[in-house]
Amino acid sequence: MHFSGQGVPSTALIWDRTRNGIRAKAVSAMVASNIWLMTRKAELKSLRDLTDKDRIALPSIKTSAQALFLWTAAEKEFGPGQWGKLDHLTVSLPHPDAMAAVLNPGGEITVHAATSPYADLEKKAGLKVITDLYAVEGGAVTGLNFVSTEVFRNANPVTFAAVVAAFDEAIDWVNADKPRAAQFYLDVSKEKISLEDLTRILMAPDYIFGKTPHRVGAAIEMMHKAGILKAKPQSWKDMYFAEAHALAGD
């Protein structure tokens, strides 16, 4: 595999683990997207309201964007060094299973760290938001990166440039007509979601298709603090190819 879409945590992990090998790096960001802590319990209005009877569903407990979000939110709520305060409440579940569990009135899961479209479906079902990633971080946060390796880039400069050009064209194509992009996605994926709902998600201000990395440095800092990264990049630019360095990222 020569190109892939990777979340920021997995981008950082493979950058860290391949620095002396294939040297994986991000070409650029792909999309910024929000994460919401959804709950069916009206009494849960902040992280401080959680008790040992609550369980928080994350797709991965240590290496997901949702895990980073929860760590950052916990440290901001409870103080420096308290990023892991809620770890004992977390459960690893794929998003579809987590949604089914949090919607079950008698289920163990009371909170789901949900992305679109799961958060949107849960809001329609009456669940409430405790907090969200953008509120915690103070703005948009990159959700996915477009990733390749230095070894492939150096050995195949023409192919690399062609793929990156196609990626740039795709970003522009999506942004030019998001309803068209939604229809194209449904035609290809056969996803069980209405065109109206998907278009609403893509048109939301939380969803930003673009190459600029947003608040990647904060994620790197948290991953290093938590011991997930052995080496700490000096800035977000260390994890991105030189062409991305001119972007106004952070």
118-152 per-position pLDDT tens digit? 999 999 999 999 999 999 999 999 999 999 999 99
Name the average pLDDT for the chain.
95
Eight-class DSSP state of 193: S
Is 63 a residue whose pLDDT tops 90?
no
Contact assessment for residue 64 and residue 91, using Cβ atoms and an 8 Å cutoff: no
| Whether residue 222 sits in one domain with residue 103 | no
| Whether residue 175 sits in one domain with residue 190 | yes
Residue 18 lies in domain? 4-33+141-245
Is residue 250 included in any domain, yes or no?
A: no
How confident is the model over 66-90, as a mean pLDDT? Answer: 96
Is 162 a residue whose pLDDT tops 90?
yes
| Whether residue 149 sits in one domain with residue 25 | yes
Model pLDDT, residue 159: 97
pLDDT over 90 percentage in the chain? 89
| Whether residue 183 sits in one domain with residue 127 | no
Which residue in the block uniquely carries the two structure tokens 């056969």? 190
CATH code of residue 97: 3.40.190.10
Number of domain units in the chain: 2
Eight-class DSSP state of 196: H
| Whether residue 81 sits in one domain with residue 173 | no
How confident is the model over 92-120, as a mean pLDDT? Answer: 95
Burial code (b: 16+ CB inside 10 Å, e: under 16) for 129-141 equals ebbbbbebbeebb
